[in-house]
C-alpha cells in the first residue's frame, strides 16, 4: 500500500525535486553562464550595396487574362504576386480590351481565361506555337468553350463532361514538390473548382484529388517540340503560390529563380514576465504553477526540439505587461527570469529581439480606418482590443526603454529585429522605427492577410528595413498552415514559424489537448520540414533578414545552349541561392558538372544552386 502510494506520486516527487534543484541553481546563481556574441551566418548589408532591381527589357512570358471574368482577375493578381517573387518578367494582356500579341516573341505563355472563344483564331494558333517548342500553362480549368472542345485532346484530356468536381484536398504522385509526396493536403473549404475528366496515358500526372477518385489536378504533356502544363486545381490565393510556381517551372528545358534558404522559429513574448497563478490545463496535467511549468517543462522541451533539429530560436522580449502608454516608462526590476531564459537562448545560438515595452500595438487613434473590414464612415468600429497611443514620442520612448532593458540584461547584444505586438503595426510607428532606431534591421510580422495585421512579402523595403514575414504559427499546425508551409518551402525555400509561451494556456490555440500533445504536433511539423529539406539553413531572425535581402535584390537570367545552362546573376554579393528545375538532360555528376557554385539535387528535377560568383555554368546530361 505504502509502496503503491509512493509509486503513484513518483512523477510528482521527481518533478518537485528537479524544480527545487533548479530553483536553488537559479537563486544562487549570480552569473547565468556566458554566451559568445555569435557571428551571424548571414548579416544584413547596407542597402546601398545593392542596385535597384532593374527591368530586364523583353518579357519571357505572356499572360492572357480577361478583366471581365472573376476567376481570371483573381489569377491575374495571384500571378503578379508569384512572378514578382520568382523574378519572372511577364506581359499581361487583357484579352477583353487588348489585341493578343505575336506568340513567337515569347518562350512561355500562361492562359488564365475560362472562355477562350474571346481569342478567336488566336486560340487555335496557340497549340501550333506549342508544337513549335513553346511552353504553355493552363492556369485554371476552362469552361467547355468551342476552343477547348476542339483542342482538349491535344492537352491530354481523353474524356470530359464539362462538370466541375470538388476535391477535398490534393495528393502528389511525383516528387514535384519537396515534402509533398506521402501525405494528403486537406482544403478547409473546398468547392467545385476542378474539371471532371480523364487523361490519356501519355500525360505525367503530378497532383490528384485526395480521395478515391484521384482526379488529375496537375499534369504535363509533351506536344511536338513543346510542352503543356495543365493546372486543373482552380483554387487560388497566396497559400497556393508554391504549387503554381512549381507547375510553371516545368515549362522549358530549365527554369531558375532566386530563393532565401532559411528556416526560422520565433518565440514571441519570450522572455517576458510570467503570468502569476495557475492555469486549468497546466494544473490538470502537471500540478505546478505556470511559472514553474515554463521553467521546468516547456523550456527544456523546446530546447530538446532545438537540439534535435538544429533550430536556433529568436526570442522577442516584452518588458512588462502594463497598459502604460505615456512616458516615462519605468524599468521592470524583476529581471531574474529574463536573465535566465535569455542567456540560455543566446548560449544556444539564438537571438534576442524586440517585441514591446508592453503588448500594446504601436498605433494611434484611427490607424485602422484604412482597413475595410467593418469600418463604415460615421459608425467607426474598432478592429482591435487595445488602447491607442497618444503620440509618436510616447511610442518612441517605450522602444527606447525596451532597448535599454535588453542591453542591460544581455551585454554585447544589439537587438536588430522587431516583432509588432499582435502583428499589428501602424505606418506612423513603422516610420518612427525606421527613422529613430537604425539598429532595427528587420520587421517580422505575418505573411497571410488578416483583418488589421501588418501583412508582408519577403522583401527589402525602401527605408532599408527587411520584411521577414512569419508564415505559420502555434503548436496546432492546421491544414491551411500545412499547405502554406509546403507552398513556401518550395517557392522561397523558407520556413518561418512563431509561437508564444502562452499558447499552452489558450484554448483557441489548443491548450485543452495539453502541452504533451501540442509539443508532439510541433515535433511532427519539424520532422516533416527537416525530412523534406534536411539541408535548409537554420537562421535567427536577423540572419533571415540578411538572407531575404540578398534574395530580394538577386536576379537571374538563364541561357540554355546545346551543352550547358548558363546563369548570370545580378546584385550578387557574397552568397546566393537559386532553385533550378531541369526538365530532362539533368547533370550526371553534381560535383563536376558545375562551375561558379555547388549543386544539390532536391528531387523531381529540382536543384539548389549555391552560387559563389555571378556566373554559374551547369553542364547538361545526355539527351
Positions touching Zn ion (CB under 5 A) are 268-269
* 261 versus 422: smaller Cβ distance to Zn ion: 422
Residue with cell 559563389: 612
Q: For 31, which DSSP code?
A: -
Q: How far is the CB of 164 from Zn ion (least distance, A)?
A: 42
The three three-digit cell numbers of residue 574, written as one number:
557574397
Q: How far is the CB of 148 from Zn ion (least distance, A)?
A: 50
* 268 versus 368: smaller Cβ distance to Zn ion: 268
C-alpha closest to that of 29 among 336, 319, 303: 336
* 255 versus 299: smaller Cβ distance to Zn ion: 299
Distance in angstroms (rounded) separating the CA atoms of residues 158 and 318: 60
Distance in angstroms (rounded) separating the CA atoms of residues 467 and 469: 6
* 252 versus 353: smaller Cβ distance to Zn ion: 353
* 127 versus 360: smaller Cβ distance to Zn ion: 360
Residues 6+ apart with CB under 8 A from 135: 107, 108, 109, 226, 227, 229, 251, 252
Q: How far is the CB of 270 from Zn ion (least distance, A)?
A: 9
Distance in angstroms (rounded) separating the CA atoms of residues 283 and 549: 45
Residues 6+ apart with CB under 8 A from 311: 263, 265, 305, 526, 538
Distance in angstroms (rounded) separating the CA atoms of residues 320 and 159: 65
Distance in angstroms (rounded) separating the CA atoms of residues 43 and 29: 33
Q: How far is the CB of 421 from Zn ion (least distance, A)?
A: 5
* 268 versus 319: smaller Cβ distance to Zn ion: 268
Q: How far is the CB of 136 from Zn ion (least distance, A)?
A: 47
Q: How far is the CB of 516 from Zn ion (least distance, A)?
A: 24
Q: How far is the CB of 355 from Zn ion (least distance, A)?
A: 6
Q: How far is the CB of 420 from Zn ion (least distance, A)?
A: 9
Q: How far is the CB of 281 from Zn ion (least distance, A)?
A: 20
Q: How far is the CB of 361 from Zn ion (least distance, A)?
A: 10
* 345 versus 460: smaller Cβ distance to Zn ion: 345
Count of alpha carbons within 13 angstroms of residue 198, beta-carbon side: 5
* 115 versus 268: smaller Cβ distance to Zn ion: 268
C-alpha closest to that of 408 among 349, 464, 342: 342
**Helix, strand, coil: what percent of the chain each, to 5?**
35, 25, 40
Contact 467, 491 (CB under 8 A): no
Contact 582, 255 (CB under 8 A): no
Q: How far is the CB of 499 from Zn ion (least distance, A)?
A: 10
C-alpha closest to that of 179 among 487, 580, 607: 487
* 269 versus 467: smaller Cβ distance to Zn ion: 269
SS3 434: helix
* 220 versus 269: smaller Cβ distance to Zn ion: 269
Distance in angstroms (rounded) separating the CA atoms of residues 590 and 608: 11
* 199 versus 419: smaller Cβ distance to Zn ion: 419
Residues 6+ apart with CB under 8 A from 511: 279, 281, 503, 504, 505, 518
* 471 versus 489: smaller Cβ distance to Zn ion: 471
* 269 versus 488: smaller Cβ distance to Zn ion: 269
Q: How far is the CB of 597 from Zn ion (least distance, A)?
A: 40
Rg of the chain over all Cα atoms, to the nearest angstrom: 27
Residue 330 vs residues 107, 410, 469: alpha-carbon distances, Å: 63, 18, 31
Q: How far is the CB of 69 from Zn ion (least distance, A)?
A: 42
C-alpha closest to that of 580 among 608, 541, 611: 608
Residue 107 vs residues 63, 134, 144, 203, 223: alpha-carbon distances, Å: 11, 6, 27, 21, 15
Amino acid at each position: 500500500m505504502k509502496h503503491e502510494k509512493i509509486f503513484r506520486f513518483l512523477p510528482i516527487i521527481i518533478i518537485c525535486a528537479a524544480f527545487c534543484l533548479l530553483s536553488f541553481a537559479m537563486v544562487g546563481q549570480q552569473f547565468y553562464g556566458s554566451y559568445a556574441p555569435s557571428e551571424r551566418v548571414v548579416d544584413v548589408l547596407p542597402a546601398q550595396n545593392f542596385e535597384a532591381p532593374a527591368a530586364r527589357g523583353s518579357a519571357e512570358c505572356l499572360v492572357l487574362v480577361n478583366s471581365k471574368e472573376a476567376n481570371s482577375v483573381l489569377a491575374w493578381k495571384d500571378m503578379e504576386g508569384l512572378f514578382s517573387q520568382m523574378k519572372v518578367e511577364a506581359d499581361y494582356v487583357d484579352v477583353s480590351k487588348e489585341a493578343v500579341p505575336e506568340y513567337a516573341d515569347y518562350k512561355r505563355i500562361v492562359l488564365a481565361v475560362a472562355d477562350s472563344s474571346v481569342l478567336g483564331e488566336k486560340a487555335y494558333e496557340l497549340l501550333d506555337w506549342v508544337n513549335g517548342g513553346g511552353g504553355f500553362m493552363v492556369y485554371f480549368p476552362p469552361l467547355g468553350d468551342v476552343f477547348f472542345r476542339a483542342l482538349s485532346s491535344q492537352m491530354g484530356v481523353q474524356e470530359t463532361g464539362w462538370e466541375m468536381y470538388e476535391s477535398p484536398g490534393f495528393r502528389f504522385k511525383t516528387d514535384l514538390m519537396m515534402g509533398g509526396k506521402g501525405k494528403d493536403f486537406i482544403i478547409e473549404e473546398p468547392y467545385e473548382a476542378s474539371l471532371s475528366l480523364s487523361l490519356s496515358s501519355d500525360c505525367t500526372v503530378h497532383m490528384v484529388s485526395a480521395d478515391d477518385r484521384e482526379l488529375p489536378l496537375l499534369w504535363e504533356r509533351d506536344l511536338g517540340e513543346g510542352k503543356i502544363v495543365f493546372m486543373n486545381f482552380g483554387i487560388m490565393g497566396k497559400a497556393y503560390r508554391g504549387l503554381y510556381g512549381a507547375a510553371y517551372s516545368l515549362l522549358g528545358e530549365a527554369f531558375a529563380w532566386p530563393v532565401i534558404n532559411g528556416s526560422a522559429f520565433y518565440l514571441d513574448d519570450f522572455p517576458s514576465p510570467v503570468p502569476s497563478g495557475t492555469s486549468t490545463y497546466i494544473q490538470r496535467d502537471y500540478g505546478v504553477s505556470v511559472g514553474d511549468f515554463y521553467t521546468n517543462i516547456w523550456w527544456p522541451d523546446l530546447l530538446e526540439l532545438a537540439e534535435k533539429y538544429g533550430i536556433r530560436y529568436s526570442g522577442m522580449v516584452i518588458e512588462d505587461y502594463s497598459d502604460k502608454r505615456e512616458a516615462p516608462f519605468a524599468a521592470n526590476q524583476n529581471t531574474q527570469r529574463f536573465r535566465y531564459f535569455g542567456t540560455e537562448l543566446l548560449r544556444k545560438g539564438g537571438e534576442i529581439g524586440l517585441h514591446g515595452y508592453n503588448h500594446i500595438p504601436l498605433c494611434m487613434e484611427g490607424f485602422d480606418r484604412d482597413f475595410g473590414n467593418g469600418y463604415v464612415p460615421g459608425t467607426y468600429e474598432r478592429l482591435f482590443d487595445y488602447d491607442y497611443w497618444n503620440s509618436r514620442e510616447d511610442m518612441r520612448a517605450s522602444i527606447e526603454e525596451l532597448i535599454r532593458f535588453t542591453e542591460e540584461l544581455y551585454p554585447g547584444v544589439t537587438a536588430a529585429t522587431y516583432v509588432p505586438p499582435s502583428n499589428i503595426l501602424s505606418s506612423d510607428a513603422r516610420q518612427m522605427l525606421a527613422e529613430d532606431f537604425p539598429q532595427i534591421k528587420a520587421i517580422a510580422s505575418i505573411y497571410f492577410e488578416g483583418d488589421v495585421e501588418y501583412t508582408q512579402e519577403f522583401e527589402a523595403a525602401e527605408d532599408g528595413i527587411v520584411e521577414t514575414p512569419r508564415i505559420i504559427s502555434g503548436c496546432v499546425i492546421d491544414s491551411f498552415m500545412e499547405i502554406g508551409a509546403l507552398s513556401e518551402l518550395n517557392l522561397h525555400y523558407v520556413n518561418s514559424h512563431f509561437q508564444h509561451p502562452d499558447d499552452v494556456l489558450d484554448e483557441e490555440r489548443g491548450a485543452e489537448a495539453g502541452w504533451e500533445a501540442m509539443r508532439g504536433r510541433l515535433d511532427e511539423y519539424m520532422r516533416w520540414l527537416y525530412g523534406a529539406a534536411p539541408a535548409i539553413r537554420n537562421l535567427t531572425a536577423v540572419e533571415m533578414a540578411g538572407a531575404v535581402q540578398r534574395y530580394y535584390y538577386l536576379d537571374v537570367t538563364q541561357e540554355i545552349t546545346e551543352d550547358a545552362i548558363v546563369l548570370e546573376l545580378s546584385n550578387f554579393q557574397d552568397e546566393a541561392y537559386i532553385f533550378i528545375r531541369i526538365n530532362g538532360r539533368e547533370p550526371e555528376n553534381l560535383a563536376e558538372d558545375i562551375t561558379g557554385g555547388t549543386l544539390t539535387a532536391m528531387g523531381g528535377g529540382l536543384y539548389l544552386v549555391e552560387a559563389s560568383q555571378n556566373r554559374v555554368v551547369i553542364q547538361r546530361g545526355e539527351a
